[in-house]
Amino acid sequence: MRCWKSLSKILVVDDELDTVNLTKVILEREGYWVTAASNGEEALTAVQTEQPDLVLLDLVMPGKSGLEVCKILKSQPKTKNMPIIMFTALGRDVDRKLTAAVGADAHFMKPFTPPQLSVEVKRWLMQAKASKFSRQLGLDHPKLKGRKILFEIDPRADYERPVRDFTIEASFYEETVIVITQKGSAVRHVLEDDVNVKFLDLDQVTSFSAILNMHSDGALSLVFDSITDFILSQQNSTESVSQMGYKFAQNALKVLNEPRITALFLLNTAAHDPHDLASLRGLFSNQASYDSQGIMIVKLGDNISNGINSHNHELPISFDHNTCQKGLRQ
């Protein structure tokens, strides 16, 4: 059984310090990571900096009310799918209608017992984890599974957020999760305490074939961070950047062409010229991008058993050793 609690961050927003402290004690004993805010403005800031998985939000506070905060968060692409539980002593029908109108996921009454709080939080976290990444693409998990996605990132944005969502969802379904990244990367930093993630260093990892040999059974979710960094690591190659990136991507897609494998290939578009980008994009039937506004779907192919466009099916499975002499090696 996977340790899903270790992944869960909860933001408690309430202007009553006693309520905040009691809630923190209960949830921290359950194994959650808990942070707090005492008003609406602090809550909005904390959501951006802490990236919580769930918010317990008081209805009545000085300044921005819980209703205002909830409406703002539910209107933004990056936070609209985050569970928000209105946390209040107001239980009239009109109060419940108001919370529902701003998009709150639940209306939880104070005072409460520890078991009541635990059950409510667990219920919404479990529901969110089941589609934490796929929902952002307009899919459910079965329709995400098997896709190989070119994920174009703006390095100035918090792109590690959707990567974390991807790994959390995969862990929820007890899939093997492997992240290939550089030491000290933003992705490694945000996931380093996740006991469900296996890390492989970008400049030392064996080939994809070797990874598949080690994990030959069961669902496998893979994050490759990133095609851009891999190309930059090949300083001694005699091939052009364009040739190297294209050959790496087409061979990687062919090796990983199994329905049980879902993969996210990160690409820093700012580091590639338009011609190279067009070539790489042409290889992937599934593409999305991420910037400060959140995820934007570029295209999602109908055939989820692979991520390769149909005209690439004749490609060899093995890596070219000269291309991969320093990074991914055969």
pLDDT digits (tens, 9 = 90+) for 53-109: 999 999 999 899 999 999 999 999 889 999 999 988 887 888 889 999 999 999 999
pLDDT at 206: 61
- The mean pLDDT of 33-44, rounded to a whole number, is 96
End-to-end CA distance of the chain: 33
pLDDT at 329: 30
Do 140 and 263 lie in one domain? The reply is yes
Asked if 207 and 229 count as a contact pair (C-beta separation under 8 A), the reply is no
Angle at 173 between CA 142 and CA 34, to 5 degrees: 125
Do 219 and 307 lie in one domain? The reply is yes
Do 42 and 164 lie in one domain? The reply is no
What band does 267 get if pLDDT is binned at 50, 70 and 90?
A: very high
Asked if 101 and 59 count as a contact pair (C-beta separation under 8 A), the reply is no
pLDDT greater than 80 at residue 147: yes
Domain final position from 129, 146, 177: 129
Do 114 and 197 lie in one domain? The reply is no
- The mean pLDDT of 178-193, rounded to a whole number, is 93
- The mean pLDDT of 241-251, rounded to a whole number, is 83
Beta bridge partner(s), residue 223: 179, 264
- The mean pLDDT of 282-300, rounded to a whole number, is 92
Q: Domain containing 65: what range?
A: 5-129
Per-residue pLDDT of 190-210, as tens digits, reads 998 888 999 999 987 767 888
Q: How far apart are CA 306 and CA 169, in angstroms?
A: 19
pLDDT at 298: 86
pLDDT greater than 80 at residue 284: yes
pLDDT greater than 90 at residue 165: yes
User: Structure tokens of 71?
Assistant: 């409406």
Domain count along the chain: 2
pLDDT at 8: 87
10 Å Cβ neighbour count for 228?
20
Do 125 and 138 lie in one domain? The reply is no
pLDDT greater than 80 at residue 41: yes
The strands making up 197-201's β-sheet, listed across from edge to edge, are 197-201, 176-181, 220-224, 261-268, 148-153, 286-291, 294-300
What band does 22 get if pLDDT is binned at 50, 70 and 90?
A: very high
pLDDT at 239: 63
Do 42 and 155 lie in one domain? The reply is no
Asked if 170 and 263 count as a contact pair (C-beta separation under 8 A), the reply is no
Mean pLDDT over each residue of the chain, to the nearest integer: 86
Domain of 91, CATH number, reads 3.40.50.2300
Do 269 and 208 lie in one domain? The reply is yes
Element (H, E) at 249: helix 241-255
> Helix, strand or coil for residue 132?
coil
Q: How far apart are CA 149 and CA 307, in angstroms?
A: 7
